[in-house]
Structure 1
């Protein structure tokens, strides 16, 4: 067997061959990752898979060269340059191969004539037309309480179609549509209504809020200051912020520690106190006795959850009149009757009456259906989606 080529043509052939190997391996890993995880593979993982294969190939070749009569010296400048170029090109082709493998997984069903198929639909099922096509509307609304999805994403989704197996209920069909939108397009929250034939009657999208914002109670803001916190102070502790003044010390504000990094402390303070801080000044923190603030903790946790709170009034002709609180598919945290005090955490057997104000915690889709039931009578039944006439 011959050693690695020493001429430029041979080196180019080696680099191209290793690049193809890297792209092929990365594409295969991306294909399997999308198939099982239903998410796009990170670039770092793809590069590691592709370049790692190249490293194994070069290492194995060099290790076997002494036994084949070749030159085992890998520290020569031509050899080192060739290896570095191989790794660099392999990294680029690994990313390209990963994108091709990812796209091949999501569009595999396109070979059978469909543009978008659910993972559970096989080519045999699609060939005989036993499918339900769900077409998204041209107009997509925003969900109240969530950041709006970008216009580019809405334009991409508007009018697009998904194909699913026919023998599923409306509830199952809705769950699969929501899973496709969340997994393939990074949507944080989906509110959708489907008719019995799979027609989308309503669609609204929301994105997940990231960072410190979702953990802040309304009326408070996060402020980063330079301070000398107490030795035992940590996230969640209430502190008083002091600054030096001509009179010795001045209390600036009171807040809650959300994070520390050396001498930088992130505080949650009232919005009115945020302007009192100076970025160039050094403060000192005094730990205060722990105060129980369940309302703040409740709001903070609610803002970071999938559910949100809604306040609705039971109309005289609505479906909710006379029903117990426990019959609602949600959490009722309070009920305010027309002529009485607020009842917190009402018992499940408590009957609803016309004029009651309900404070409900639920997902946006569930909350919207309850609001609709509180306004008017409805006659909705769940049936199996009908077969698309076009199939």
Structure 2
């Protein structure tokens, strides 16, 4: 007897059984796919860093010092005669030329003295002329025995006395005329005139205020600073021959070279200075000695008493290994750089840094020219790690591309906008 189900319920049961078998096979396939995928290595994203090669170049070493601008001449203008100030002929703080009038002192007493001495001189000249005539008259008489030797000697003596009196009166008159000229006080040099120490009506001279004002020559200017003895030794080693040293010593310059001036706003002064004097004695308390340079100042950008920085070349390193200062890190164990090796792995390299200038540092040891050091991204890497190294140009192009994409994304309309 056939017991196979024939009704609708039997057909429904068979369909359920077939669907369950198909879903089970699909699940197994998915599980197998996941197991295979888990067995594959996951790619590691490498860190990007910016590198720069260590350069080999000529590197001048400078000493930098706090300096002060000083006038090349600083003259006190004083009254040379006694009297009352009648007029002040300058504006305080202005630029004056040599010979420009500054003060006028009451000249009437000195004019009267000149007139009196002129009269006395004329009287002495008249006496000299009379004595000359007496000698001229007595000499023929003496030759004819009409006058004695005593008469001629007295006449000659009177003539000599009158001549001496004329010379004395001339000297007194010259002195009086000189005193009269001192009543007009002029600037002895060209420069900036300071504040007036006296007003109109003030008594000046030995009986009153002697100092009237000051005039400072500001073109050229002196730049004064102090150099250490160690820097002095470096500067001395720059001299290549005994003749150079002898010439520098003869000129009073233990240190030679041009001085670069940096102003208060950290800009370089347009003119270079030249060392003109070095103090031959070292201050035992500070271990330094004074150095003075002369620098042009036609536009009066430098003022007396102004603080500046002076930079003087001490030595030169012809084949220095130089890196950017941003590539150097310092820790308790010393200074180090991160070097990207040819296989793109990072090596932590301890170095000995040397002189530095304008963001560039000389590497005395620990690094060779041409090796690639990391300048940006050092905080994201460690020793032995593989990296993607970009040079400065590639890094710049990457930043420009990212900025361009960001701007385009900001400019693109959103989905909600029509």
TM-score, length basis structure 2: 0.20
Could you say which structure has the greater relative contact order, defined with CA pairs below 8 angstroms and 6 or more residues apart? Answer: 2
Q: Which has the higher helix share?
A: 1
Structure with bigger gyration radius? 2
